[in-house]
A and B are shown apart, each in its own frame.
Chain A
């Protein structure tokens, strides 16, 4: 049975097999592509959008994009209704203690609940803005919480991370970029 190799008289019958192999090659290749959940931000290397929003702790004080200038900082989108934000909170606290400025963007949230949440879990942020209507979030292209942006000292967005900031995410993704940006300015 194995002595004779199959004779392909009708060559067109191989076409489906060849088509399939090109498909399989494509799919194989797709594994080495970037994680599709890392959706690109349209705003990379563009200035942080303009905004005029209330500070969380004092409603008479209005914050704008100028408050982000001066140092490499993180802008973290969070809310009390976001369970994962609670999960990343200890990591953010440690990052802040390590000397990184973190600005909070309180997204679509209730003021009293937010203040109570910070009271209970600690507040490592340098300040928060209240984005009730989600206008700043829309300008940033945010579609959920948590999300974290790296802003350099001239207010340009340099990186966007979607999802929880874990120790690994910090060590492998965020910290190297912050170092790089600080190195450039020094």
Chain B
């Protein structure tokens, strides 16, 4: 059981890192969160119910740790401070590279401005691809709350990317 459990966690590490990145807005902070969550998971092996989803179980641990950390005095670095966000991409012409980098950073910046409860729903559903039902189980909130938080988050992101303004301008013209 133990070995199987560890192997399962190892195979899911890329997804845990992605979820951590989406929650914290930083690769380094995300990895710190994954590491803490892995350590915690190994001490709570007996609490995992075989047959249930290991990824959901870990997402819940990560989310709870993140909420605890946010309450602690040290706050996470602002998004964009991660040097990786400033790394040049290796191909393409310079102008396009710049545009790509700025726009991807813009998406992440908008996400980082969302309230934590919206960000965790967004990360589970839009980034990790969980169903609303699965997200409601991980976060231990009602389905309707998942939907309302998600819609608010998604409208904020869409509008921040200028999509709503463009559509509105078109409708008017």
Tell me whether A and B are bound partners. no
Q: Which residues of B contact A (CB under 8 A)?
A: none
Q: Which residues of A contact B (CB under 8 A)?
A: none
